[in-house]
Amino acid sequence: MDSMDVSYERVDAGAVGRKRRSKIVVTVLASALVVAVVVCVGIGITRQGGDADGDLRKDYLRRWELRANAVKDACSTTLYPEFCASTIGNFPGLSHRPGKMEILNAAVKLGIQAVKLGSVHARSLYRPGLTFRQKTALHDCVELFDDTLDELYDTLSDIHNMTFMAVPRHAADLETLLSGAITNQDTCFEGFTLCKGHLKQDLKGGLRNVTHLVSNSLAMVRNISHEATRLLASSAKQSSHNRHLLSVFSSDEDGFPTWMSVGDRRLLQSSSSNITVNAIVAKDGSGHYTTIKAAVDAAPENSKTRHVIHIRRGTYQENVEVHKKKINLMFIGDGKGVTVVTGSLNVKDGSTTFHSATVAITGKAFVARDMTFENTAGPSKHQAVALRVGSDLSAFYRCSFKGYQDTLYVHSLRQFYRECDIHGTVDFIFGNAAVVFQNCNLYARKPMANQKIMYTAQGRQDPNQNTGISIHNCNVLAESDLMAAAKGLFPVYLGRPWKEYSRTVFMQSYLDGIIEPAGFLEWNGTFALSTLYYGEYMNRGPGAGTANRVKWPGYRVISSSAEANQFTVNQFIEGDSWLPSTGVKYAATLTG
């Protein structure tokens, strides 16, 4: 049985060279309260005596059994049912006959408690003598713990007073938040891969507990949603509800989702000269700011309206972070290759992959158009991110992303890319967002000697996460330098599975002849080959033949439009409910 023990190695400041292991046991308080209740009940029973003594004992045991059975039932659909039942069963304040929404509430609160412990511990590990890489990895973890807390608190707020039958209407948002929270823990852990010392091991137990607790909450949301949907489907009211949904999730004749505001449509369709902007960035000093960072820092926090920053032509050598409080921010450039933001942080020189991004976006509802994001570290520096996105409901229109290994980090939450160009070599579109690329160009570049090229490396680690990479109506191509190399010198694949439940789909896209006949590449032996989901649907071009594709259990040639539609803008990222407000043009369903 799993436990909630989180063991951390610490240095005893009172004695040089002597270590003590301190154990943080999350369930101690809960267990103590349970014991106190038992003792109090026992005292009460003893004082009553006689038949009353037996009746009270029976009533107490009946209540305890009802509670245990309810928790066990709710936990039965999770990946860690014993761990789930043992932690929630001891949660203080849980009623004697809790419903599934009350149990879900307790599960989320347990996750919050564990994240707080993990964050405190990560901060305690800072000390003199750490390397730059170790400090950076710890900094990443602290940031990711903070992001996780926000996501779990948002989940808790969303389910507060939510009825069982209302969950299907909110399931996509809840699953997105919880999927992102799980991804954050893995990203923290990955940051220590190249670090010496025992920091990675020190954090492992706490990260595992958070991951399992959040996974339990995610599984419960999915189970409640499925149960409630079945009940709704059996009622006459569901038919009218479905008709309403069909009217909401649709696009107009211009290809914009019907939920997109008129103002945001204009922002995307209009030329930059016709858009009212809030700030101008210009290298020559003719604007409000000379750097993008300064304009972002000056932007309002938690804005309810779109804040537009026009970044005039020029190359801006800087690293930019759009933090989570910078909501509804929009970058408008003067064109791909005309407005360029560039950096060169990379893993070989001591950064983490997460921290190497030239531009990092976590503020919700971010939009960018007509500009280039670039990392110029080069192929010899290995992982070097041009853009990292952990912004929910974010959209990129007519942008380009240039790098080599790990160019575009679609880290988490829901994202959309339209008419963009992505250039790279190894795993150059990677991460664990729910993301759709539509009408984009994916360009493989010439890598270092003996390297293979993979367009994607998707990182879904839990089968209940609503994440994956959908490549829809795109061109999967090669740059001229790669085309000029001897054929077969640099094998090119559509993707490989970074994590156990990796999910990637190529649909209605043009695949160049440079693609290897097998299509996809293993990550390491048989890892994830049975649990991944890799699909192809109605692709075209010399590289689209599927006769010699991999024979993995998780690979499929999709023959059903219904199955393929699961990965469209409409269904996969609920685009009709948020893309219209961004102004980015899109196709909600399959084309043609």
Q: What is the CATH number of the domain that holds 410?
A: 2.160.20.10
Claim to verify: residue 287 and residue 365 sit in the same structural domain: yes
Q: How many Cα neighbours within 13 Å face the side chain of 333?
A: 24
Claim to verify: residue 312 and residue 174 sit in the same structural domain: no
Which tens digits make up the pLDDT trace of 230-264?
Answer: 988 877 454 544 444 333 333 444 444 443 455 65
Q: Domain total for the chain?
A: 2
User: Cβ(156)–Cβ(105) under 8 Å?
Assistant: yes
Is residue 133 classed exposed, middle or buried when 0-12, 13-18 and 19+ CB atoms within 10 A define those classes? Answer: buried
Instruction: Please indicate, yes or no, if residue 333 is contained in any of the structural domains.
Output: yes
State the average pLDDT over residues 515-544. 97
pLDDT of residue 516: 97
Which tens digits make up the pLDDT trace of 361-379?
Answer: 999 999 999 999 999 999 9
Tokens of 474: 């795109």
Number of Cβ atoms within 10 Å of the Cβ of 313: 15
| pTM of this structure | 0.86
Instruction: Please indicate, yes or no, if residue 522 is contained in any of the structural domains.
Output: yes
Residue indicated by tokens 């649907």: 537
User: Which of the four pLDDT bands, split at 50, 70 and 90, describes residue 12?
Assistant: very low
Instruction: Please indicate, yes or no, if residue 15 is contained in any of the structural domains.
Output: no
Claim to verify: residue 226 and residue 318 sit in the same structural domain: no
Tokens of 192: 């220590």
pLDDT of residue 574: 83
pLDDT of residue 457: 98
Number of helices (H) and strands (E) in the chain: give both, helices first. 13, 28
Residue 70 predicted with pLDDT over 80? yes
Kind of pairing, strands 533-537 and 307-311? unpaired
Per the structure, the complete domain to which residue 196 belongs is given by 62-230
pLDDT of residue 39: 40
pLDDT of residue 398: 97
pLDDT of residue 269: 60
User: Cβ(85)–Cβ(71) under 8 Å?
Assistant: yes
Beta-strand runs (E) in 66-225: none
Active site annotation includes 427:
yes
Looking at residue 89, which CATH number applies to its domain?
1.20.140.40
pLDDT of residue 585: 83
State the average pLDDT over residues 198-203. 94
pLDDT of residue 245: 36
Q: Which of 182, 210, 230 is the last residue of a domain?
A: 230
Instruction: Please indicate, yes or no, if residue 238 is contained in any of the structural domains.
Output: no
Return the ∠ at Cα 233 (arms to 232 and 239), rounded to 5°: 100
Q: In this predicted structure, which of 9-23, 278-292, 343-357, 516-530 has the lowest mean pLDDT?
A: 9-23
Q: In this predicted structure, which of 200-209, 317-326, 482-491 has the lowest mean pLDDT?
A: 482-491
Distance CA 468, CA 430 (A): 10
Claim to verify: residue 291 and residue 172 sit in the same structural domain: no
Q: In this predicted structure, which of 15-19, 162-166, 229-233 has the lowest mean pLDDT?
A: 15-19
- Candidate list 427, 462, 512, 576, residue with the active-site label: 427
What angle, rounded to 10 degrees, do the helices at 100-124 and 199-233 form?
Answer: 160
Higher-scoring residue by pLDDT: 44, 332: 332
Q: In this predicted structure, which of 106-120, 255-269, 393-407, 545-559 has the lowest mean pLDDT?
A: 255-269
pLDDT > 90 fraction of the chain, expressed in percent and rounded: 74
Distance CA 549, CA 576 (A): 34
pLDDT > 70 fraction of the chain, expressed in percent and rounded: 82
Claim to verify: residue 397 and residue 345 sit in the same structural domain: yes
User: Which of the four pLDDT bands, split at 50, 70 and 90, describes residue 590?
Assistant: confident
User: Which of the four pLDDT bands, split at 50, 70 and 90, describes residue 24?
Assistant: very low
Instruction: Please indicate, yes or no, if residue 209 is contained in any of the structural domains.
Output: yes
Higher-scoring residue by pLDDT: 426, 67: 426
Higher-scoring residue by pLDDT: 470, 45: 470
State the average pLDDT over residues 27-38. 40
Claim to verify: residue 226 and residue 368 sit in the same structural domain: no
Mean residue pLDDT across the chain: 87
Claim to verify: residue 443 and residue 571 sit in the same structural domain: yes
pLDDT of residue 57: 67
Give me the residues paired with residue 251 across strands: 257
Claim to verify: residue 291 and residue 358 sit in the same structural domain: yes
Claim to verify: residue 203 and residue 84 sit in the same structural domain: yes
User: Which of the four pLDDT bands, split at 50, 70 and 90, describes residue 7?
Assistant: very low
Instruction: Please indicate, yes or no, if residue 46 is contained in any of the structural domains.
Output: no
Q: Which of 198, 230, 262 is the last residue of a domain?
A: 230
pLDDT of residue 25: 36
Task: Kindly report the backbone phi and psi dihedral angles of residue 338, in degrees, each rounded to the nearest multiple of 5, phi listed first.
Answer: -100, -50
Q: Which of 207, 230, 253 is the last residue of a domain?
A: 230
Closest CA to 340 of 367, 313, 378: 313
Which tens digits make up the pLDDT trace of 367-421?
Answer: 999 999 999 999 999 999 999 999 999 999 999 999 999 999 999 999 999 999 9
pLDDT of residue 33: 40
State the average pLDDT over residues 550-570. 94
- The CA–CA distances, whole Å, from 204 to 120, 127, 199, 408, 460 equal 14, 19, 9, 27, 19
User: Which of the four pLDDT bands, split at 50, 70 and 90, describes residue 96?
Assistant: confident
Claim to verify: residue 369 and residue 508 sit in the same structural domain: yes
Instruction: Please indicate, yes or no, if residue 245 is contained in any of the structural domains.
Output: no
Distance CA 277, CA 310 (A): 6
Instruction: Please indicate, yes or no, if residue 412 is contained in any of the structural domains.
Output: yes
Claim to verify: residue 176 and residue 294 sit in the same structural domain: no
pLDDT of residue 217: 98
Claim to verify: residue 486 and residue 421 sit in the same structural domain: yes
Beta-strand runs (E) in 333-450: 339-343, 359-361, 367-369, 372-375, 387-389, 394-397, 400-402, 408-410, 414-418, 421-424, 429-431, 434-438, 441-444
